[in-house]
Amino acid sequence: MKLRVLVLGAGFGGLELSTILSEALGNDLDLTLIDQQDSFFFGFSKLDVMFGRKGADAVKIPYRPIGKPGLRFRQETITAIDPVAKRVTTSGGTYEADVLVVALGANYDLSATPGLAEGGNEYYSFAGAEKLRDVIPQFTSGHAIVGVCGAPFKCPPAPSEAALMLHDYLLKRGVRDACTISLVMPFGSPIPPSPDTSKALLRAFEERHIQFIPQRKVHSLDAARKVIRLDDGSEMPYNLFLGIPKHVAPDVVLQSGLAENGWIPVTKTDLLTRFPGVYAIGDVTSVGTPKAGVFAEGAARIAAHSILASLKGKENATAYTGAGSCYIEFGEGKVGRVDVDFFSGPKPQGTHHEPSEMLVADKDHFGSSRKARWFGL
């Protein structure tokens, strides 16, 4: 009997888990991988798109070439999940499985920040990043604010990266002296688990005259007066606002009964939800790691090994350490890296790697190795 697996969402988590199961079970697997999109892209490619470094075609990888044993891809929208029956309804039909894996990521709620849709921009969605490609060139003087509107949010280094990349962009165009840049973040430091990475980022902000405003979130925007309001009631004038919108689990997850307090709770040992045979991985969970691709990928490995172990009537023996490496664009053609481990010790530990040109190649390899592994490209 083939193992029937349904994987909902073909992002970082869904792709890694499907790849491991296909490698391990081959044609003894009957896995359906469902996503509403026709292509995958790395989160960091949105930074390249918004600053005009790359076009959409250069960063989107079509799902079409996935040709792995035991795996079929369906481009459909998931409209209902029944975790008790392990039954899923989509725009294309109904599916049932022995094992269900929810890897649907996080969506954005722009309406949670009054004025954001009318008076600001966001670069966390692909459409938002593409729109900014035309908006940013028009900004030649005044105050630019990169602002976080809610936590948790994906890829904690991404707001710092946007501020540093904006500095470079304005410098190259000869208008940096006419512009000021501020960064509003809900944390006390840019990367709380790594004091060294935080120090390096704060040093980079100081050298570039980027104002860092810690412990604050953006509450709302007043488009008519061109001011943002922070969560302490203070106001800041702006000419360009690059927002990180409030994140939410997809509606279909919230309606399924899988979520508690907005996200899906899972056990750290095997990424199982409270429903037997139903796993959840990545940004859609509240497992305790930041919302980032590397952590979704790590969770996918543990869930896949749990599925394989349970096939043999065993329990997964590999502990989930919540460890991963995040690359950080420091500007000036350099990339830094922070290696973070969330669960091995009593508190999260981060190791800083100084920005360098060598790490640019490292980051490129990170992308190309996933492209090869998941898509055979």
Ligand X SMILES: Cc1cc2nc3c(=O)[nH]c(=O)nc-3n(C[C@H](O)[C@H](O)[C@H](O)COP(=O)(O)OP(=O)(O)OC[C@H]3O[C@@H](n4cnc5c(N)ncnc54)[C@H](O)[C@@H]3O)c2cc1C
Residues at the contact surface with ligand X, assessed by CB under 6 A: 9-14, 34-37, 43-44, 46-47, 77-78, 103-105, 124, 154-155, 158, 250, 252, 282-284, 291-294, 296, 326-327
Residue 110 token pair: 């722009």
Q: Which is nearer to ligand X, 38 or 206 (CB)?
A: 38
Q: C-beta of 125: minimal distance to ligand X in Å?
A: 8
Measure Cα distances from 347 to 27, 195, 216, 321 in Å: 42, 13, 23, 12
By C-beta, is 77 or 368 nearer to ligand X? Answer: 77
Instruction: Give min distance, CB of 280 to ligand X, in A.
Output: 9
Q: Which is nearer to ligand X, 119 or 282 (CB)?
A: 282
CB of 180 to ligand X, least distance (A): 22
Nearer to ligand X, 46 or 353 (CB): 46
Query: Least Å distance between CB 292 and ligand X?
Result: 4
Q: Are 217 and 230 in contact (CB under 8 A)?
A: yes
Beta carbon of residue 325, minimum distance to ligand X (angstroms, whole number):
8
Query: Minimum CB separation from ligand X for residue 55, in Å?
Result: 17
Q: How many CB atoms lie within 10 A of CB 195?
A: 12
- Please identify the residue of the shown chain whose CB is closest to the bound ligand X: 11
Q: Shortest gap between Cβ of 222 and ligand X (angstroms)?
A: 25
Measured from the CB atom, the residue of 252 and 258 that comes closer to ligand X is 252
Closer residue to ligand X, CB minimum distance, 34 or 149: 34
Which two tokens mark 129? 């990043």
Strand partners, 29: 3
Q: Which is nearer to ligand X, 155 or 210 (CB)?
A: 155
Q: Least distance in Å: CB of 233 to ligand X?
A: 28
